[in-house]
Structure 1
Amino acid sequence: MPLQSLFITQLLRDSFANAPDWAELNADLEAACMQVAEDDEAGQQWCEDNGYDGYTSYASLNDLENRANAFADLKAKLDLKAAEFAQASHMDIGNAKWEMDSFWINILNPLAAHSGHIHPHSVISGTYYVKTPEGAGALKLEDPRLPMMMNAPSPNKNAPLSAKRFVYEKPEPGTVMMWESWLRHEVTPNMGEDLRISISFNYSLV
């Protein structure tokens, strides 16, 4: 049939795990995340006050790349990947430049989750996955048109990924995912028996 796909929502999913230096970098990232979580008393207090089951540096630190070489090395890789994503998404940014304006650690305890949200004031958002134990929560992405669908029938069981209302991406260590910041997403409960560790980020234009 003469159908066209309109208004595409892009998701970048790639992996750094094939790079020769990845295993060492990822081990350094895990150690650095745990050390920051232990030292960051303000972040610990924020998590306690806000019911975050685990640890996040989102509300307490804005200098992660200066705290360990591993974070700086990861940022350099993410900067290149963000530029690739923007180009593949046909973003016309004129003379502006990309800036990673936030960069933070997420450590979720077993059974912990992160409810649905967007990232206001940013253009590109994403996550790099350091540790994903068996049963760790998936990234759940929501069709941005959902509030306007009203009586639209649900897609059938055989519908392609592009026609689904919700998409569940199960990351592995080394996985990096990026999407436009207006895309609503959440982390499903960590059903594993170990910590789920990731590092998230936002990019804006300057």
Structure 2
Amino acid sequence: MEKSELTVRKLFCTPLLLCHLEGAEEINQALLQHFLSKPEQEPGRRHSNLGGWQSEDNLHTLALPAAQRLCRMVTDVVDAATAVHVPGGLIEASLAWRLNAWVNINSSGASNAVHGHAGAFWSAIYYVDDGGAGPENGGELFFYDPRGLLPAMHDPLLRFRIEGCVTAGYTEKITPEAGMLLVFPSWLLHSVDPFFGERPRVSVAFNFGTPTG
């Protein structure tokens, strides 16, 4: 059978940016020193977190050099991944983001329910201390296929034989590591399994929205 030339266009991809930040150890040590005692001093917030402790979303405003440095580094990653559509194509974005950032401290048994981050364009998670997270301790981060059940509507065993068009399941699992940064579209649903490490797992979450008015 003759084969015609085939062009594959992978439509509507969902970007997930992953990197390990330089200077993470110094940043992490300073953040842990500042925040680990906070659950004993402040009640914290309740949003998607089931157990654990969450700070106010004002990390970016604190006079804490490590926090300011981290916010600048994460903003640089977000800027590099953002473009603006204009007549003729895409150009590099130059935006004054509306930034919110907060600290999560998950003690043993804590988790996060499935949620997205409404009102933002990019969201990010930075791991200050993974708490010894691993297969034996749980606490994995799950991203949910935005197509829902669509990949399995016909036959859950079928797969595309096209690189980059993976339909192996409904979630993508990420095992946290200290110093790891994840950046993703804010509409992408995600959750965290219950964590059972010996020490608290500490992370920083970010929302990047464009200014209004």
What interval of TM-score do these two structures reach, taking the shorter chain for normalisation? 0.7 to 0.9
TM-score, scaled relative to structure 2: 0.78
Q: 1:22 to 1:188 in 2, by over 3 A?
A: same
- The amino acid that maps onto 1:129 is Y
Q: Does 1:128 align with 2:126?
A: yes
1:66-113 deviation per Cα after TM superposition (whole angstroms, max 9, x unaligned): 1422111111111101111224xxx96897614242100111111221
TM-score, scaled relative to structure 1: 0.80
Q: Secondary structure at the match of 2:108?
A: coil
Q: Does 1:181 align with 2:177?
A: no
- The amino acid that maps onto 1:126 is A
* Alpha carbons 2:117, 2:187 under 8 Å: kept: yes
* Alpha carbons 2:49, 2:113 under 8 Å: kept: no
- Residue 137 of structure 1 corresponds to 139
Aligned-pair CA distance for 1:37: 3.5
- The amino acid that maps onto 1:110 is S
List runs of 5+ in structure 2 lacking aligned partners.
Answer: 1-5, 84-88
- Residue 64 of structure 2 corresponds to 68
- Residue 40 of structure 1 corresponds to 42
* Alpha carbons 2:79, 2:93 under 8 Å: kept: no
In 2, Cα distance between the equivalents of 1:28 and 1:162? 41
Equivalent pairs: percent with the same residue?
24
- Residue 154 of structure 1 corresponds to 156
- The amino acid that maps onto 2:120 is S
* Alpha carbons 1:123, 1:180 under 8 Å: kept: yes
Q: Secondary structure at the match of 1:32?
A: helix
Aligned-pair CA distance for 1:134: 3.4
State how many pairs are aligned.
197
- Residue 170 of structure 1 corresponds to 175
In 2, Cα distance between the equivalents of 1:2 and 1:83? 31
Q: Secondary structure at the match of 1:125?
A: strand
In 2, Cα distance between the equivalents of 1:25 and 1:100? 23
- The amino acid that maps onto 1:134 is A
Q: Secondary structure at the match of 2:50?
A: coil
In 1, Cα distance between the equivalents of 2:144 and 2:128? 23
List runs of 5+ in structure 1 lacking aligned partners.
Answer: none
Q: 1:37 to 1:158 in 2, by over 3 A?
A: farther
Q: 1:98 to 1:149 in 2, by over 3 A?
A: farther
Q: 1:113 to 1:96 in 2, by over 3 A?
A: same
In 1, Cα distance between the equivalents of 2:180 and 2:57? 23
* Equivalent residue for 2:82, pick from 79, 86, 108: 86
In 2, Cα distance between the equivalents of 1:106 and 1:22? 17
Aligned-pair CA distance for 1:151: 2.1
Aligned-pair CA distance for 1:163: 1.6
- Give the root-mean-square deviation of aligned CA atoms: 3.2
* Equivalent residue for 1:56, pick from 46, 54, 57: 54
Q: Does 1:200 align with 2:199?
A: no
The answer to which structure has the higher helix fraction is 1
